[in-house]
Each structure stands twice: as structure tokens, then as C-alpha cells.
Structure 1
Amino acid sequence: MAALPAWNLLKGKTAAITGGTTGIGRAIALAYIAQGCNVAVNHLGLPQDEVHRHSLLEEAKAIKNKAIKTGDILELPGDVTNPETGTNLIKEAESQWGKLDIFVANAGVFKQAEFLKIEPSLLDHSVDVNVKGCFYSCQAAARQMVKQGHGGSIIGISSVSALLGGGLQTHYTPTKAAILSMMQSMAIALGQHQIRCNALMPGTIATQLADHDMKNPTKKAALEARIPLGRIGNPEDMAGPAVFLACEEMSRYVNATGLLADGGMFSKLQ
């Protein structure tokens, strides 16, 4: 998938992203760097994820080597269910680059499960990561932006699942609806500080969270048939919309909205 051209749309800006070593978060982090934005990336710091952390740093380095005026990257481990994780991430970004302009709450979990068999532990984990993790980290970002006094952009990664049901997603779809609702309410609370809050709502994207469907040819074909563009999305398909929402010049009056990026899937009812 072709990368977004390096137009320096975010030149001199600083961003922080949770869950940024894989999938959508990673694609957004790399796109921001290519656009001249310094990026602080949060990740869980698990031993099995070291390969992703190292490859992200290598890819960021490659971007710097072939383009001018790109941003820098730093990474910091931490679990977003701990309120201190977001605080530490923002503090590190501010310490390194002096400010925070953009925040992307991306960290999330999903595991298919039958409604009648869902245990409290799975529901609790889904809510803790997807809802509470988003809330705590956004709150930390907003506090920094308010203190700075020059506005900013906060983006919550929601999903088309905020608008649609799923038989194996009864523990997941409510969390994505919560993120959309959270961004709407945050936009009202923070508008006086010129902080824009929006939700990016991907459709079916080929990430680790969708592995179960991607490995099932029948399910994958059925999903593709529902998408007018005829293909499953890639993480890179989310980079452009995330740059748009982050860029003050392009989206300065876009606030409290949910931006669908699903290839048209939501509209295909029949």
C-alpha cells in the first residue's frame, strides 16, 4: 500500500499514540513522522512484542533517511488501564519536545466470543482497555493541552462497530460506541480550550485483532462482499484520515464527529 506523500502537513507538531507498535496505531505513527511530526508511542512492553517495537523503530529510521523534515520517535511501555501510563507518556513527550499537539487513543482489545459464554473477566478486560484506557489517556492529554493554552486535536479510535451489532461482539461493540460518545462529550467539555475531539471509525481492517476472520476464507469473502470497494482495509488506509483530523489547517472546524473509514460497508444494507 502506497504511503501518504510527505507533504509536511504536521511539521513541528508533537503527537502521542497509545498501542502504537502494531496495526492502525503503527500506521498512524509512521504517517505522522513522515509528515514532520514528533511521535511518542505507547506499547505494552511484552517480550513477544519486541519484534514489533524494533521493526517500528527501524521503519521510522528508514523514513528519516529518505525524506527531509521528518519527525522523531520515542517509545514507552505501559498498560493504558493504569491511569499513570497516559500521564507518563504525555510527560515524556512534553519533556522531549516541549509540548503536545495531537493525541491518538488507539490501544484496544478484541476477541470473538459467544454472548452466552462470555465470562466477567473478558467483559471487564474489554471495558478496562477500550473504555477506561481511552478515558484515562485522553484525560492526561487534555490536561496537558489545556495547560499549554494553544488547543490541540484528540482522536479516539472507535469503529463501525459503534453503529452496528455483531453476534460475537456483544462485549466489544458497546466499548466502541462508548469511544464515539466520549469524543462527542469531550468536544463539548474542551471546546472552550480550542481542543477538537473526534472519533475515527475504521471498518474491517487487516490487523492482529481481525486475524480470526482473515484466516477464514469463507468469512473473509463474505466481509469483502459487504464492502462496496471490494476489499478489506489495510492499517495504512487509516493514516490519511488520522492526518486529516490532526491537521489544524485541514480540519479546524471538524469537532465532535465520527469519521467513518469503512470502504462503504456501513451503507450496504442490501
Structure 2
Amino acid sequence: MSLATNKIVCITGSSRGIGRACAIQFAKQGATGLILHYYGDTETEAEIRSLQSQLENDTVKVVTVPGDIGDPATSAKIVEAGVAVFGRIDVLVSNAGICPFAEFLTMPHAVWEHTRQVNLDGSFYVVQAVANQMKDQVPQGGSIIGISSISALVGGELQCHYTPTKAGILSLMQSCAVALGKWGIRANAILPGTIETDINKEDLSDSTKREYMINRTAMKRLGTPDDIAGPVVFLASDLACYVTGASLLVDGGLFVNLQ
């Protein structure tokens, strides 16, 4: 059984990393429509064109929407573009995020502002916009998955601006589960551990740091975007129809390993 058969799925930050892996997995699992948001610079435009070509060859119709997710107008455009083509949105994966590592005491306030705007404000805007569409469509309902982080639960020396945003996404999903359940809308959070993406590429280039993070996991390897895509598709699927307000830690056993 395909887990996403006939579903219309919206993914923010879809040009690479976890977002891209989710798009590919949803296509493999039978989604018929994908609304792919990306930040519109030249490099990501090339990435999204490549992804679009790959998925459309697999008979999935794809709509792409560029824009700064920290601007509420972008979320309105995402919903408008998706509904114009597909008529509805069944799943939202709020994934777009940044993590510019920085020392707390010398961090420019602009770094804090930008990180919060993209990670937390952007999540709020797109969740609100898509939830309104899910409430009004017939039949009502849908699944919203917020990509939080293990950083919602623990601290990081160079992440004093990042961890609060991920904790905020976790809390947002919990409250949205309560606020939106009456319309058949489920809201859940995925908390990835150390996943190799562009966000931490520079940080993990330090071989000592990389080896330390590998050894911290119970499974003795770092995660890949594909490791996150599977759990995301599950939470979006009808197999998880009674799961809402939940948080799923996907970290290879990093959090539980105290030794």
C-alpha cells in the first residue's frame, strides 16, 4: 500500500536536504500533486528545476513557488498557487529553516531576527495559511508536520538563536493540534537529530566534531535526509489518522545516549 496515494502535499524549503527528500518520498508513495516552495536564488532555482523534472517524469504534477518564507505574503502565494492547480491541500510539511552558527555573546541582533523570522515566523505563517484552506475545503481536514529538531529539547553552544525557534515549532504543533482538531486537521512534529544537510555541512567538516557526533548516536552513523522523509510520510498518511499533537524524535539514538 502506498502511504500518500492521491494526496496533495505542500513542502516548504524543498529544493534540497530534508525538504527535497520528502518530496521524492511522497512521489514514490503515490502523491498526485506537490506544491514545492523554495527560496528563490539562482542556485535553488536550478535545484528545484532538477527536482521538478525528476518528479514529473514519475507522473506527479508539481507546482513551484519561490519566496522568503519569513514574509507572510509568501505563504499566501503558496496556498493560492496550490489551490489554483489542485483545488485542495492535504498535507503540509513546514520544513524551511536556517542555522547560521554564532557565538551568543557577540551575536548581532540581525542574526537572531533573521533566524527567528525564517524558522518560527515562517512556520507560523504557512501553518496558519494552509490550516485555513484545510478547514474550508470539502472534505475538511489534513495533516500538518512541523520539522522541529532535537535542539528543541537540548542546548547548543553556537545555537542560542536556533534552539528557541525549534522549541517554538514543537510548541506550535502541540497547540495547533488542539486548535485544529475540530476540523479534522492533525498537527505533529518531527525532531531530527544530526542530519547531514547544507545547514551543518561546515560544522561537520571538522573531523573531530564529526567523529564525536557519530559516536554519540546509538546507531553509530549520522542521519540522512531520507531518514527523515519516511517518518514524515507516515505522519501524513492515514495510518497515523489518530496521531496528533505528537513529537517523533528521529535521531539514531542520539538523545538517549548519555555515555
Candidates 40, 45, 48, aligned match of 2:43: 48
Q: Which residue of the partner structure matches residue 167 of structure 2?
A: 177
Letter in 2 for 1:44: Y
Letter in 2 for 1:76: V
Q: Which residue of the partner structure matches residue 113 of structure 1?
A: 102
Aligned to 1:155, the other structure's residue is in SS state strand
Candidates 11, 14, 20, aligned match of 1:20: 14
Deviates more, 1:76-85 or 1:50-59: 50-59
Q: CA deviation at 1:247?
A: 0.2
Tell me whether 1:187 sits opposite 2:177 in the alignment: yes
Candidates 176, 198, 202, aligned match of 2:192: 202
Q: CA deviation at 1:49?
A: 2.1
Tell me whether 1:59 sits opposite 2:54 in the alignment: yes
Letter in 2 for 1:51: A
Aligned to 1:90, the other structure's residue is in SS state helix
- Distance of 2:190 and 2:161 partners within structure 1: 20
TM-score by length of 2: 0.96
Aligned to 1:196, the other structure's residue is in SS state strand
Q: CA deviation at 1:12?
A: 1.0
Deviates more, 1:127-136 or 1:51-60: 51-60
Identity of aligned residues (%): 44
Q: CA deviation at 1:150?
A: 2.0
What does the per-residue CA deviation read over 1:115-159, in whole Å, with 9 as the maximum and x for residues that have no partner?
111110000001101010000000000000000142100010000
- Distance of 1:219 and 1:159 partners within structure 2: 19
Tell me whether 1:96 sits opposite 2:91 in the alignment: no
Tell me whether 1:137 sits opposite 2:126 in the alignment: yes
- Distance of 1:233 and 1:126 partners within structure 2: 23
Q: Which residue of the partner structure matches residue 29 of structure 2?
A: 35
Candidates 244, 266, 269, aligned match of 2:234: 244
Structure 2: unaligned runs, 5 residues or longer: none
Deviates more, 1:147-156 or 1:199-208: 147-156
Decide whether the 8 Å contact of 1:228 with 1:268 is kept in 2: yes
Count of residue pairs brought into register by the alignment:
257
**Structure 1's 265 and 32: CA in aligned 2 closer, same or farther, altered over 3 A?**
same
Structure 1: unaligned runs, 5 residues or longer: 1-6, 65-69
Match runs of 1:202-221 below 5 Å: 202-221=192-211
- Distance of 1:8 and 1:258 partners within structure 2: 23
Decide whether the 8 Å contact of 1:33 with 1:72 is kept in 2: no
Decide whether the 8 Å contact of 1:33 with 1:73 is kept in 2: no
Tell me whether 1:9 sits opposite 2:6 in the alignment: no
Decide whether the 8 Å contact of 1:35 with 1:71 is kept in 2: no
Q: Which residue of the partner structure matches residue 225 of structure 1?
A: 215
- Distance of 1:61 and 1:99 partners within structure 2: 19
Q: Which residue of the partner structure matches residue 268 of structure 1?
A: 257
- Distance of 1:124 and 1:142 partners within structure 2: 25
Decide whether the 8 Å contact of 1:80 with 1:86 is kept in 2: yes
Letter in 1 for 2:188: N
What does the per-residue CA deviation read over 1:48-72, in whole Å, with 9 as the maximum and x for residues that have no partner?
323312221232144x1xxxxx532
- Distance of 2:6 and 2:44 partners within structure 1: 30
Candidates 224, 238, 241, aligned match of 1:234: 224
Q: Which residue of the partner structure matches residue 3 of structure 1?
A: none
